[in-house]
Amino acid sequence: MDNFYTDIIFSGSGGQGVMLIGNALSLAALDRGYLVTYMPSYGVEMRGGAANCTVVISTEAIGSPVIGFPEILVAFNRDSFERFKNRVKPGGTVIVNSTLVPDYRVERKEVRVLPVALNALAQEIGDERLMNIMGLGALVELIAVVGTGDIEKVFPKVLGRNFEKYRDLYLKALRVGAEEIKKIK
């Protein structure tokens, strides 16, 4: 395994499934033999408040799960985008949900912005709540450390019995997200 390191902030609001996808990515990377940290952070509200998690994936020892300046930001809503966009490292990437943030802009030229209309695409396949799974698919395609097959293997652990019930829909959402990022990366 070649040396590898990346750190990611997934950010949205409570109820958008931010923790679920951070957990899924972490478990998939662990299964592939990487060292991983996962740190959730919740706002004080039950639903609708700020929610984000950090995931660090590495082949070397990880000093801290705290990320001040991530390589990658996945922002599901405007508040998250505005809060974290200027903290992305130079040369980093922002995947932004352009359905909820249609006027996304990052003034820094050294940060790449990849807009994906996550909510709109999720509506097209039948369930807007799957926008988080599409965002995960986009990220997995971007970083290419784990594949969609690795994510599929950990879905039963993070989704429980809901996975089998909605298996085809979850997998379709994952694939659509990956395909969308291929178009723009």
Q: In a structure prediction context, what are the per-residue pLDDT tens digits for the chain, which is 185 residues long?
A: 789 999 999 999 988 999 999 999 999 999 999 999 999 998 665 566 789 999 999 999 999 889 999 999 999 999 999 999 999 999 999 999 999 999 998 888 999 999 999 999 999 999 999 999 999 999 999 999 999 999 999 999 999 988 888 999 999 999 999 999 999 97
**Which residue's structure tokens are 């652990």?**
157
Q: Structurally, how many domains does the chain consist of? A: 1
Q: How many CB atoms lie within 10 A of CB 104?
A: 18
Per-residue pLDDT at 27:
98
Q: Which residue has the tokens 């929610």?
A: 51
CA distance 155 to 144: 18
Prediction pTM value = 0.94
- Which CATH number fits the domain that encloses residue 69? 3.40.920.10
Pairing of strands 93-97, 5-13: unpaired
Give the per-residue pLDDT at 60.
Answer: 96
Give 101-110's long-range contacts (Cβ < 8 A, gap of 24+): 101/75, 101/77
pLDDT given for residue 46 in this prediction: 57
Residue-range definition of the domain harbouring residue 114? 5-184
Q: 38 with 52: CB under 8 angstroms?
A: no
